[in-house]
Amino acid sequence: MHVRATTRPAAAVEAQWLAVGLFNGKDKDKDKDGGPIEPPAALRGTPLADLISKLQGSKDLGASVGDVTPVLGASGLAARGLTTFGLGSRDKFDPGAAYNAGVALARKLAARPRESVAVALPDAGDPSAIAPALIQGLIVGTRGTDLRKSEPARHPFGDLILVVPEELAIDLEAALRKGQVVGEAINLARDLANTPPSDKAPPALAGRFREVGREAGLEVEVWDEDRLRRERFGGLLGVAAGSDQPPAFVVLRHRGGDGPTTALVGKGVTFDSGGLSLKPSASMEDMKCDMTGGAVVLAALQAIARLASPVNVVGYVPMVENMTGGRALKLGDVLTHRNGKTVEVLNTDAEGRLILADALSYAVEHDPARVLDLATLTGACMVALGTKVAGLFSNDDPWADRVLAAARSVGERAWRLPLDADYLDGLKSGVADLKNVGGKWGGSITAAKFLEQFVGETPWAHLDIAGPSWADSDNSTRDAGGTGCFVRTLVALCDG
């Protein structure tokens, strides 16, 4: 898809479709009475302005985020068709709303091939943040989950044209570039999560990471099983023992300056049966997405490298299948991790923390300024926060605040949960340094407390993305399947 901008008046832009956003509640008195309301800025001064105003006032055109309505018989435009899309309340409009509005619009228009689509930049918020967010959403909305269908259900536009006011004082080239690069990175993370597990066993997924990383200009290392044994990755090797597929470990490096290094660690369980602590069949249906943390780390680093960000970021992704073969971990087995800590395994379905422990231990050995890990780690986090909010845990308040601020800046949602010292009591083992599960309560917290034992004094944060990483059903602003959540947050965090 070719993304470009124009400063021509919206009515004069030649395209197959022109899309104009609508705010609701802009004139509360008129809106309440059902009368005309102020038309969108892009159409003011045109014959269509009164029509759009009246249709919106009569509720024939929706303005909530997710609403998309074609306007039939529109005249006075160089474009062949006009559609409106909802932006929500003007006073609440932010990059998150722009992203969601873009997804909804693109999902509708991409149902058929479109040679060109022009979208008017909304006249609210900070345009340097709104423009890339809108483009990201438009790119994500053109990509469906139909990876193996004989006919695609969604079609990228030939040309995507952002219509901006001539007097707009922002770096349009940078905004367009960021929007396209980050949008494509989100789709990469989504595609990896949606890929069938038979096509992404650890060696195959590691090969894909190598290919994507090198194309983006990253330094890439891929470790095989022999290297993992030499490096004492006992947790990763223990989880891998039940699978015919060997584990892998991928290191991705972006060197963009002389400053401090941020380490990103992503869980890469390519399929999770639960091991001998076997999941019910229904609970396995979406376990191809249990490598989403790793996919998000790759996607964010791809975007950071393509944008030539002047930062230093290293990604670490342990990859494994959690299966039930004859050599599978048994309850009561004890593993020795990279940092020498021993762990009694009392639930083989709590495997993500076992592989992350090795990756975190290795990451902090290289003295990063800060570490962030992302993992589809616990169902308990979904019980606490639902499916749209990630749980954040940290041993460092300033670092946690930065992560939360980055998420808010792009419209993604995370909530900080406690990590008090007494939660460690539930992880005490009589035969080893730790056990891999706590008691009945606070499962997401004890999981995070387990991970904390492998980072030492390094500022560290953990995002449990089990909820927002996967959507069980479609709605107007997302597809069922992998969501690519927190790619935007990581790019903002590392650039900030």
Tens-of-pLDDT digits for all 496 residues of the chain?
Answer: 999 999 999 999 999 999 999 998 654 444 454 555 788 989 988 889 989 999 998 889 999 999 999 998 888 899 999 999 999 999 999 999 999 999 999 999 999 999 999 999 999 999 999 999 999 999 999 999 988 898 888 999 999 999 999 888 789 999 999 999 999 999 999 999 999 999 999 999 999 999 999 999 999 999 999 999 999 999 999 999 999 999 999 999 999 989 999 999 999 999 999 999 999 999 999 999 999 999 999 999 999 999 999 999 999 999 999 999 999 999 999 999 999 999 999 999 999 999 999 999 999 999 999 999 999 999 999 999 999 999 999 999 999 999 999 999 999 999 999 999 999 999 999 999 999 999 899 999 999 999 999 999 999 999 999 999 999 999 999 999 999 999 999 999 998 6
Instruction: For residue 306, indicate whether it is catalytic.
Output: no
Where would I find the beta strands (DSSP E) of 256-377? 261-266, 268-272, 312-322, 334-336, 342-344, 370-375
Marked catalytic residue, from 8, 154, 177, 279: 279
- Strands 261-266 and 370-375 turn out to be parallel
Cα–Cα distance measured from residue 129 to residue 121, given in angstroms and rounded to the nearest whole number? 11
**Residue 74, pLDDT score:** 85
Cβ burial, residue 334 (10 Å; 0-12/13-18/19+)? middle
Q: Cα dihedral angle (480, 188, 88, 122), rounded to 10 degrees? A: -150
Nearest to 98 by CA among 13, 183, 9: 183
Rg of the chain (C-alpha set)? 24
Cα–Cα distance measured from residue 347 to residue 330, given in angstroms and rounded to the nearest whole number? 8
Nearest to 119 by CA among 42, 39, 26: 42
Where would I find the beta strands (DSSP E) of 298-444? 312-322, 334-336, 342-344, 370-375, 390-394, 414-416, 434-435
Amino acid at 465: I
Distant-in-sequence, close-in-space partners of 28: CB < 8 Å, separation ≥ 6: none
Sign for the CA dihedral angle at 208, 211, 217, 219 comes to positive
Query: Scanning the structure block, which residue is given the tokens 């395209």?
Result: 15
Instruction: For residue 227, indicate whether it is catalytic.
Output: no
Cα–Cα distance measured from residue 217 to residue 11, given in angstroms and rounded to the nearest whole number? 41
First to last CA, the chain: 28
Marked catalytic residue, from 26, 178, 306, 353: 353
**Residue 36, pLDDT score:** 59
Give the largest Cα separation in the chain, rounded: 79
Q: Taking phi first (over 0 means left), then psi (-120 to 50 degrees means alpha), and beta for anything else, what does residue 411 get? A: left
Enter the DSSP assignment of 453: T
Predicted TM-score (pTM) of the model is: 0.96
Cα–Cα distance measured from residue 376 to residue 338, given in angstroms and rounded to the nearest whole number? 22
3-state secondary structure of 287: helix
Answer yes or no: are the C-beta atoms of 157 and 105 closer than 8 Å.
Answer: no
